[in-house]
Amino acid sequence: AQSVAQPEDQVNVAEGNPLTVKCTYSVSGNPYLFWYVQYPNRGLQFLLKYITGDNLVKGSYGFEAEFNKSQTSFHLKKPSALVSDSALYFCAVRDPYNTDKLIFGTGTRLQVFP
């Protein structure tokens, strides 16, 4: 079965420090990967996606993600964290056997401390 895993329930980082939120995937064929962010009492907002090509994908709010095929990972990164980045982050993958299915990880709560 197609799946994504987010091994960390929570990530804590000081403001100004780099942050990484981890995601690994298990997909048959080429993966189509996404990152979403959820602020309190809000729906999910799209951050960035990997389709093909450059392994470093740039997205909204200064976030980027690095696709690593050998490690089946798609970690979300930001060079300098902001307190306002504190939110719940979800990794997702399209199911290649049903392109209209989007499969989500369990989410990682990012807490950025001043």
Partner 1 sequence: IAGITQAPTSQILAAGRRMTLRCTQDMRHNAMYWYRQDLGLGLRLIHYSNTAGTTGKGEVPDGYSVSRANTDDFPLTLASAVPSQTSVYFCASSESGVMNTEAFFGQGTRLTVV
Binding site for partner 1 (CB under 8 A): 6, 9, 32, 34, 36, 41-46, 49, 51, 90, 94, 96, 98-107
Shortest spacing between CB 112 and partner 1, in angstroms? 21
Q: What's the min distance (Å) between Cβ of 86 and partner 1?
A: 17
∠ CA 64-65-71, nearest 5°, is: 160
> Closest CB to partner 1 among 6 and 13?
6
**Closer by beta carbon to partner 1, 9 or else 70:** 9
Handedness of CA 82, 87, 91, 92 (dihedral sign): negative
Contact 8, 111 (CB under 8 A): no
Smallest separation, CB 65 to partner 1 (Å): 13
Q: Are 113 and 20 in contact (CB under 8 A)?
A: no
Q: Looking at beta carbons only, is 14 or 102 nearer to partner 1?
A: 102
Residue 42 or 79 with smaller CB distance to partner 1: 42
State the nearest-atom distance from the C-beta of 114 to partner 1, in Å: 26
The token duo for 20 is: 């990484």
Residue (of 57, 63, 61) closest to 32 by Cα position: 57
